[in-house]
Amino acid sequence: MTIEEIAKLAGVSRSTVSRVVNGDPHVRDEVRIHVQQIIDDNGYHPNAAARSLASRRTRIIGLLVPRAIGVVLQDPFFLHLIQGAVEGCNETDYLLTMLLESADVDISNQRVYDRVIRGRHIDGVVIASSVVEDPIVERLQQDGFPFALVGRHPHHDVSFVDVNNVDSAKLAVQHLIEHGYRRIGCITGPPNMIASIDRYAGYVMALQESGRAPDRSLTAEGDFTRRGGYRAMQELLNNGNRPDAMFVASDTMASGALQALRDAGLRAPDDVAVFGFDGLDHQLVSQPVLSTMVQPIRELGREAVKIVLSRVASNESAPTQRYLPTEMALRASCGCGAADAAAGNGAGRGGDA
């Protein structure tokens, strides 16, 4: 079934069928209805390749997750991001394709870049969780290829959508300070990701503004996985300098940290309070219910797609940079509302975002 055959069946020209398919208003209603009928009756769908070739648009955008498989994609964070991105695409009849780079196979990453981006398989790309030094940002910039980052970039002046991680982290830590905790520790993300850097910066600022110096022995590095959080917490507990509260840079890691506490026979928040980041706790089902800084992950994904699409449409060069608001969710694990702290209280309880 080609457009030509439909045209013949409907007794109109190829052009008219094309107009109907693409919703062009310059078609008489009578004709439109008739043609649409023929299209439906024959189950015709325009060939994607032909369409892309002629229009120079594939109507696909990519979601690139660098070094995804090993570590990052485990985080439920990504599910929300993906969902948001898919929603953003649906609204404009675009398709989302996942571009997953392997951890260390540079060749395959290069291949993706050349084949998918240079070969114009996609119209634009959203890049999630890139590391600061990832060369892809600069390459895309040079190639003039439409893209947007989820998470700001420290060096390059590029399009992105992000939350204010510094201020958000600072607020979280200030909250712990207000609770009266004296020895507030931190589990960070990988040091080459901007979200890690910013959240740690916020942690440090909050301490400094309250007149304390951050203690390096209270900080451990995680990798945004549950296990990473578990190990980081263990490390902190074992070095003989036990914190009485923790700011953990992601809920997934916080869930691991809570388990490490439990396994060490400690109680949260009584022995060690915990504050997370992301707003994913209802998925992780931690005990006690995790206090966290909620970021609008789906909106982040949706917005990133929007930015990319607007850059695909108009070839302006000034980057679009947007910050979305976060919100504090105070629950049991930081010491607020002891009611939620009781064990056996139900998996999915807790406040909403």
Partner DNA sequence: CAATTCTTTGGGAGCGCTCTCATATTTCAA
Partner DNA sequence: TTGAAATATGAGAGCGCTCCCAAAGAATTG
Helix (H) or strand (E) holding 188: strand 184-188
Query: Per rule CB under 7 A, is residue 55 in the interface with DNA?
Result: yes
> Which residue in 9, 37, 42, 51 binds DNA (CB under 7 A)?
51
- Binding interface with a copy of itself (CB under 8 A): 43, 45-53, 58, 60, 69, 73-74, 76, 79, 82-83, 86, 90, 93, 95-98, 100, 102, 105, 108, 111-112, 114-116, 118-121, 226-227, 230-231, 234, 256, 259-260, 262-265, 282-285, 287, 343-348
Which partner in a copy of itself, DNA, none is near 73 (CB below 5 to 8 A by kind)?
A: a copy of itself
Round to whole Å and give the CA distance between 131 and 113: 16
Q: How far is CA 33 from CA 20, 28, 50, 108, 295, in A?
A: 9, 9, 24, 48, 46
CA-based nearest residue to 129, from 301, 255, 266, 272:
301
> Which residue in 9, 31, 79, 100 binds DNA (CB under 7 A)?
31
CA-based nearest residue to 122, from 50, 46, 52, 45:
52
Q: What is the largest CA-CA distance in the chain?
A: 84
Strand order in the sheet with 327-329: 219-221, 184-188, 245-248, 273-278, 291-294, 327-329
Q: Which residue, 109 or 188, has its beta carbon nearer to a copy of itself?
A: 109
Count of CB atoms situated within 10 Å of the CB of 231? 20
Which span (18-26, 86-94, 162-170, 336-344) binds DNA, by CB under 7 A?
A: 18-26
Which partner in a copy of itself, DNA, none is near 156 (CB below 5 to 8 A by kind)?
A: none
Which partner in DNA, a copy of itself, none is near 100 (CB below 5 to 8 A by kind)?
A: a copy of itself
CB of 33 to DNA, least distance (A): 11
Which span (50-58, 137-145, 213-221, 249-257) binds DNA, by CB under 7 A?
A: 50-58
Query: Per rule CB under 7 A, is residue 309 in the interface with DNA?
Result: no
With contact defined as beta carbons under 8 Å apart, do 313 and 154 qualify?
no
User: What are φ and ψ of residue 101, in 5° steps?
Assistant: -90, 145
Round to whole Å and give the CA distance between 93 and 87: 10
Structure tokens at 306: 């929007």
CB of 146 to DNA, least distance (A): 17
Query: Per rule CB under 7 A, is residue 3 in the interface with DNA?
Result: yes
Q: Which residue, 45 or 182, has its beta carbon nearer to DNA?
A: 45
Structure tokens at 189: 């993300």
Tell me, what DSSP letter sits at residue 116? Answer: I
CB of 35 to a copy of itself, least distance (A): 17
CB of 21 to DNA, least distance (A): 6
Q: Which residue, 50 or 338, has its beta carbon nearer to DNA?
A: 50
Round to whole Å and give the CA distance between 20 and 295: 42
Which partner in DNA, a copy of itself, none is near 39 (CB below 5 to 8 A by kind)?
A: none
Q: Which residue, 17 or 304, has its beta carbon nearer to DNA?
A: 17
Round to whole Å and give the CA distance between 176 and 166: 16
Which partner in a copy of itself, DNA, none is near 118 (CB below 5 to 8 A by kind)?
A: a copy of itself
Task: Kindly list the residues in this chain that would bind DNA in the complex (CB under 7 A).
Answer: 1-4, 11-16, 18-19, 21-22, 25-28, 31, 44, 46-47, 50-51, 53-56
